[in-house]
Amino acid sequence: MKLIDNFVEKFHNDVLPTPEKCFLLEEGDELYINKWIKNGKINGKMKHIFEWIEKKYLSNKKQLEKTDKKKFDELIRRFYLKNWRIILLMCNYQTKYRYYSKVINSIKDKSFPEMKNKDFLKLFENN
């Protein structure tokens, strides 16, 4: 798997897509995650896929590293197993951020159209 080419740019512009759209399949991925591929596309939630990979291949990480170092290194490199959680966290955070921003703006525009965003948000502050 690889991240979409413009992941960093999208992150800085607060426009990351869902985790499933941030990862692209590469040749050879099907050897490890064929269960999660349908019609050449990722089929399932990325969180579940990564947890499955860890459980299936790395449940005894030290043993795999000793017995098949090449396979261990390939899994770590291919599937972002050292940092998949932070990638998913960033994607999910931005998705929720955009959703709640739209909700707040919609409420403000319908209820207080003349009010500035900053003033509107002050309505929710604790005194």
pLDDT in tens, 105-125: 788 778 877 877 777 777 777
Q: Model-level pTM?
A: 0.71
Helix (H, G, I), strand (E, B) or coil at 16: coil
Render pLDDT for 72-109 as a digit per residue (tens, 0 to 9).
888 988 999 889 999 999 999 998 887 777 777 788 77
In a domain, 31, yes or no: no
Question: What does the alpha-carbon distance between residue 82 and residue 63 come to, in Å, rounded to a whole number?
Answer: 18
In a domain, 19, yes or no: no
Q: What is the reported pLDDT for 49?
A: 95
Dihedral of CA atoms 12, 15, 16, 17 in degrees, nearest 10, equals -170
Spatial contact of 117 and 34, defined as CB atoms under 8 Å apart: no
- Has residue 127 got a pLDDT over 70? no
In a domain, 50, yes or no: yes
Considering the chain, what is the average pLDDT of its residues?
Answer: 87
In a domain, 30, yes or no: no
Residue 59: domain span: 39-123
In a domain, 99, yes or no: yes
In a domain, 98, yes or no: yes
Q: What is the reported pLDDT for 7?
A: 93
Question: What does the alpha-carbon distance between residue 70 and residue 74 come to, in Å, rounded to a whole number?
Answer: 6
In a domain, 27, yes or no: no
**How many distinct structural domains can be found in the chain?**
1
In a domain, 29, yes or no: no
